[in-house]
C-alpha cells in the first residue's frame, strides 16, 4: 500500500526532464545531462522508507509480534540506496567521461558517508522502541515539510506569496511563474 509521499518527486522530475528536453538540440536523442538525471533520479536515495516501515509495523501488529522494531530497515535501506546512487553515477560518469574527482562530488560522498556512519553509531546506541519513535517523528516532520514546500512552490509559481497576496515583483517568483506557464 504505497502512499502519496512515495511519489512526491515525480512531478518535479518530469518538469526538470521537460526543461532539459527544451535545451536539447536533437529532440529524438537524450543528452548526457538527461541520461545522468534519469539514472540519478531512478537510483535515488531513500532517506526514510516510511511506507516499508508502516507495512512492517502493520504486519507485526496483525501477527501479534512482541518487541518488533519496524524501523530497523531504515539504515540498511539508506546504505543500499546510497550504493545504488553512487553506482549509477559512476557508471554514467565512466561512459560520459566525467571526472568525479571534483571537490563538490568528493564533499557529497564524504559528507553523506559520514552522515551514515554517525546515524549508525547513534541508532545503535538506542533501544529498539526509542529508535522507532525517533524515526517515526523524523518521518512525520519530513512529510509536513514536504507538504509545506509543495504548497510554497505552487504558490510561488502562481505569483502568490505564502500570505496569499500577489507578488510578481520578485525575479525568482516571476521565473517560476513563467516556467509553470510553459508546462
Instruction: Tell me the CB-side half-sphere exposure of residue 94, using CA atoms within 13 A.
Output: 5
**What's 25's DSSP letter?**
S
| 3-14 mean pLDDT | 63
pLDDT digits (tens, 9 = 90+) for 57-112: 889 889 988 877 777 888 889 899 999 999 999 999 999 999 999 999 999 999 99
- Percent of all residues in the chain with a pLDDT value above 70, rounded to a whole number: 67
Using an 8 Å Cβ cutoff, are 39 and 89 in contact? yes
Per-residue pLDDT band for 5 (boundaries 50, 70, 90) equals very low
Q: Domain segments of the chain: what residues?
A: 4-182
pLDDT score, position 104: 92
Amino acid at each position: 500500500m504505497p502512499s502519496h509521499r512515495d511519489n512526491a518527486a515525480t512531478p518535479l522530475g518530469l518538469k526538470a526532464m521537460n526543461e532539459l528536453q527544451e535545451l536539447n538540440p536533437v529532440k529524438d536523442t537524450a543528452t548526457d545531462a538527461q541520461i545522468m538525471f534519469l539514472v540519478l533520479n531512478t537510483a535515488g536515495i531513500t532517506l526514510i522508507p516510511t511506507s516499508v516501515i508502516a507495512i512492517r509495523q502493520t504486519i507485526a501488529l496483525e501477527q501479534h509480534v512482541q518487541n518488533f522494531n519496524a524501523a530497523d530497515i531504515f539504515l540498511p535501506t539508506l546504505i543500499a540506496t546510497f550504493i545504488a546512487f553512487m553506482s549509477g553515477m559512476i557508471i554514467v560518469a565512466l561512459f560520459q567521461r566525467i571526472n568525479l574527482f571534483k571537490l563538490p562530488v568528493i564533499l557529497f560522498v564524504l559528507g553523506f558517508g559520514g552522515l551514515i556512519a554517525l546515524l549508525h553509531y547513534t541508532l545503535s546506541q538506542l533501544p529498539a522502541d526509542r529508535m522507532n519513535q525517533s524515526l517515526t517523528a523524523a518521518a512525520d516532520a519530513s512529510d509536513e515539510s514536504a507538504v509545506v514546500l509543495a504548497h510554497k512552490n505552487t504558490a510561488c509559481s502562481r505569483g502568490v506569496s505564502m500570505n496569499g497576496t500577489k507578488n510578481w515583483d520578485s525575479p525568482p517568483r516571476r521565473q517560476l511563474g513563467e516556467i509553470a506557464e510553459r508546462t
